[in-house]
Amino acid sequence: RLVAYERVDAQGVPLVIGYGVATDTLFAPWYQLLPWVAATLLVLLGGIAAGTHRLTQSLATQARQGDALARSERKFRALADNLPDVVVRFDPEGRHLYANPGVERATGLPPEAFIGRTNAELGMPADKVAVWMETLRRVFATGRSERLEFSYPGPQGERHWESVVTLEPAVAGEGPTALV
């Protein structure tokens, strides 16, 4: 529909014309889609709200589990740190992940000296390292505990050791460990 025109005497622009369109005709198809768009938007918002609710619940559950895990770890450390026996935790590669204070009385080395190191790196003879690693490999492979006996020198001289190597319960998101 022609709504206005004006002749312009500028060089190269002889005429300017303006057109108008009836908006009800132009937007009619969009108006028909509006209920579907609104319904889709409401469904999406409902899904986002439900997802947010589930995420909030999940995070709260994880926080409670984290608190329970932290309490369990504190109890384990209180027990293991006060035992006269040596308690150590290994990963599948034979690295020490934990050593209680009893290890210092038995070896003369502080517990911190063990963390992240293997028995070989700590100076254990190759034949004893081979026995340790084979025992750890079997325990990690089968999940069955094994008893390991050997003699090894400490600050007070040669000592006979009797160890029980056992797979620890798996913790979500962490690799397997063995407690000795």
For the segment 70-124, what is each residue's pLDDT rounded down to a tens digit?
A: 888 889 888 888 888 999 999 999 999 999 999 998 888 999 999 999 999 998 8
Give the SS3 label for residue 140: helix
Specify whether the CB–CB gap between 82 and 74 falls below 8 A.
no
For the segment 2-16, what is each residue's pLDDT rounded down to a tens digit?
A: 556 556 666 666 555
| 51, 54, 56, 70, 173 from 59: Cα distances, Å | 12, 9, 5, 16, 15
Residues in CB range of 159: below 8 A, 6 or more apart: 106, 151, 152, 153
CA 147 to chain centre: 32
Query: What is the pTM (predicted TM-score) of this model?
Result: 0.60
d(CA 44, CA 57): 20
**What's the DSSP call for residue 101?**
T
Residue 126 CB neighbours (<10 A): 9
Specify whether the CB–CB gap between 27 and 21 falls below 8 A.
no
For the segment 8-66, what is each residue's pLDDT rounded down to a tens digit?
A: 666 666 555 566 667 777 777 878 888 888 899 999 999 999 988 898 888 888 877 77
